A and B are shown apart, each in its own frame.
Chain A
C-alpha cells in the first residue's frame, strides 16, 4: 500500500516534470527554428546585405537597405505617436477619471482592443489614414496604423506601472501641498517610468514584427529607396521577407532567412533593453 505522503510526493514530482516539459517544448522549438534559419541565412549576412536594395533579377545581390531604414522610420514614428498618447491616456484613467460606468466601459474597451486581430487595424488604417486623410501609402500612414495597434498595450502597461506606486507616496506629496500635476510629474512618473518603458518597448517590438496591417495600408513589395519623408512610400523588414518567401529560387530563400535573422536581432536587442531598463529602475526606486 502507498501511503498518502508517498502519493503526494509522486504527485509533486509529476507536477514538476510537467512544468519542465512545458518549458522545454517552447525552448526546443525555438532552438530548432533558430538553428534552421541561421544555417540557411547566415551565409548571406555581410555588409552588402545591409547596404543593397532588393533585386529580383540578381537575387544573390539582394539586400534589405530600404526595408531596414523603413523599419527604423516606422519604429521612431510609432514611438513618437503612441508614447505620448498611450501614457497620457494611462495617467488620465488611473489618476483623474472618476470611477463610474463610463470609465469601466472605457477600460473594458481598451482591454478588448488589445485582442483585436492586427489586420482589422490595417483595414481601419486604410480607410481612415490612407483614404480619408489622404496620406496615401506613406510611412506616416503605416506608423499611425501601428500606433493604434500598440496603444492599448501602452495604456495598460502605463496603468499597471502607475498602480504599483504606493498610495502613501502620493498622500505624502499631497500632504506637502503639491498639486495633482506636481505629484504625478515629480513622484508618480519617475517611480513608474521603468514599468512604462518596459511596456512601451515590448509593444514596439511587437509593432516592428507586424506584417498584416502594413500589407493592407500599402507597404511596398518592391521599392529601391529608403523613405525620404513622412509621405514617402516605404517597406519594412517583415514585408520584405514576405515578398522573398514565395519566390522559388534558392537564393531568395536564403535572403528571406537572412532577413529573419536581422529582424530577430532587432527584437532581441529591444527586448534586452526592456529587461535592462526594468532592472535598473527596480534598483533605483526604493520605497
Chain B
C-alpha cells in the first residue's frame, strides 16, 4: 500500500518534470516516470560518489535509475560523511560529493589548492515537522528552547506535563513520540535541537515506522512528536502542525530557510575536471531531472520543479564556461 503510493509519487513527479523539459526523450524510458539520460550513444566509465549519509538514499536512488539508462556506466555510492566526502572531492578521488551542509572555507581552500573547480547544486530539502494532536488548542508555536527543554536527556523525569514547558498550559502528562535512534531524522533533530547528535531523553516512544508515530500522536490528546516533513504532507488531516520559532514549515519557509533550525538544503558538488567526462555530465543532468521524484520516495522534500530547471541551466553554463 505504502509502496504503491511511493511509486505513484515518482511517476507523478516525473510527469511534472517531463511536462516542462526533455523534448528528445526516449519513449521506452518513460514507463516508470524516469527522465531519460540525454546522450544518444551508449556511455561507459565509472562515477564515484561519496559524502553525507543523509544524501546517500537520493544519490543511491538516482544511481539505480541511471543504471536503467546507461547500463555500462558504473556508479558507486558511499556515505562516509559530508566532511570526508569533501576531502576526497578535493583530492579528486571522487566525481560527485554529497553534502548535507555547504562547503566550509577550509574545504574551499583545499579545492583551490588542488585546482578543483566546483559547482554546488541543491537537490532536495531535509525538513522535520513537530506535531501535536488535533485536539491540542494550546501549543501553536514552540521555540527551539522549548523543544530543547522537552527533549534533552536532562528532561527525563523532570519535564512531565505541558505546564512544565510553559506556565498556564495543562498539567496533563505529555506523551512523546519520535523516530528510533537508527534514523537520520533522529540524528538531525537531536543535533539541531539538543545540540548534540544522538542526545535525547529515553522515555519517549520510538518507532521506525512513521505510521505508528502518526497513530500514536493522533490517538493521544497530550501527545507531541516529530518526523520527516514529507511524511506530514501525507497525513495533513490527522495531525496539527506546530510552528517552530514562530514559523510553520511549508514549501516557502523551507526553501528560504526561515523555518529554522529544522530544515536544511541537501547538496551535491561536482567538479569541472570530472564533468568533462560525458558520462559524469550525463549523470548530473539525469540527477537534476530525477532528484525530485527520488527525494520524495526516500522521504525528503523535493525542490520546486523550476529550481531543478534553473540548476540544470547553471550546470550547462558551468560546463561550457572556460
A203 to chain B, nearest CB (A): 27
* Contact call A56/B60, Cβ cutoff below 8 A: yes
Whether A177 is near chain B, meaning CB under 8 Å from some CB there, is no
Is B119 engaged at the interface, CB distance under 8 Å to the other chain? no
- What 3 A-B pairs come out closest when comparing CB atoms? A222-B77, A248-B208, A222-B60
Interface members, chain B 49-65 (any A CB < 8 Å): 53, 56-57, 59-61, 63-65
Any A CB within 8 A of the CB of B273? no
Question: Contacts of A224 on B, CB cut-off 8 Å?
Answer: 63-64, 67, 74-75
Q: List the A side residues contacting B59 at CB < 8 Å.
A: 222
Interface residue? A218 (CB, 8 A): yes
Q: Which of B178-186, B247-255, B310-318 contacts A (4 or more CB under 8 A)?
A: B178-186
Q: Is the CB of B184 within 8 A of A222?
A: no
The residue from A57, A222, A243, A247 contacting B76, defined by CB atoms under 8 A apart: A222
Contact check, B209 vs A233: say whether CB atoms are below 8 A apart: no
- Chain A's interface size range is 20 to 34
Alpha-carbon separation in the docked complex, A247 to B78 (Å): 15
User: Which residues of chain A are near B77, meaning CB under 8 Å?
Assistant: 220-223
Closest chain A residue to B299, Cβ basis: A248
Give the docked Cα–Cα distance between A221 and B61 (Å).
12
Which residues of chain B have C-beta atoms less than 8 A from A115's C-beta?
A: none
Whether B184 and A221, one on each chain, are in contact in the complex, defined by CB atoms closer than 8 angstroms, is no
Given the complex, which residues of B lie within 8 Å of A57, measured CB to CB? 10, 61, 64-65, 294, 297-298
**Using an 8 Å CB-CB cutoff, how does the interface string of B291-315 with A read, 1 for contact, 0 for none?**
0001001100000000000000000
Tell yes or no: A60 within 8 A of B by CB. Answer: yes
Which chain B residues border A55 with CB–CB below 8 Å?
A: 64
Is A246 touching B184 in the complex (CB atoms < 8 A)? yes
Q: In whole angstroms, how far apart are the Cα atoms of A58 and B210 in the complex?
A: 18
Hey, what's the 0/1 contact readout for A55-96 against B, CB within 8 Å counting as 1?
Answer: 111101000000000000000000000000000000000000
For chain B, the bracket of interface size reads 20 to 34
Q: How far is the CA of A246 from the CA of B182 in the complex (A)?
A: 5
Give min CB distance, B33 to chain A, whole Å: 11
Asked if A225 and B74 sit within 8 Å, CB to CB, the answer is yes
C-alpha spacing A137/B53, complex, angstroms = 18
> Given A57-B61, A248-B208 in contact, is the A221-B183 Cβ separation under 8 Å?
no
Interface residues of A in 236-287 (CB under 8 A from B): 243, 245-248, 250, 253
B64 close to A245 (CB less than 8 A): no
Q: Which chain B positions have C-beta within 8 A of A58? A: 3
Provide the residues of chain A in CB contact with B75, threshold 8 Å: 222, 224
Looking across the interface, which residue of chain B has its beta carbon closest to that of A55?
A: B64
| Neighbouring B residues of A136 by C-beta, 8 Å | 93
**B79 interface hit (Cβ, 8 Å):** yes
CA distance A137 to B294 in the complex (A): 27
Residues from chain B with a CB closer than 8 A to the CB of A221 are 56, 60, 77-79
B63 partner residues in chain A, CB cutoff 8 A: 222, 224
Give Cα A221 to B209, complex, Å.
Answer: 23
Taking the nearest CB of chain A, how far is it from the CB of B221, in angstroms? 27
A41 to chain B, nearest CB (A): 16
The chain B residue sitting closest to A225, CB to CB, is: B74
User: Known interface pairs A220-B76, A222-B77. Does A60 touch B180 (Cβ–Cβ under 8 Å)?
Assistant: no
Bound together, the chains give a CA A272 to CA B77 distance in angstroms of 36
Residue ID in chain B nearest A218 by CB atoms:
B78
Closest Cβ of chain A to B80, distance in Å, is: 8
In the assembly, what is the distance between CA of A58 and CA of B64, in Å?
Answer: 10
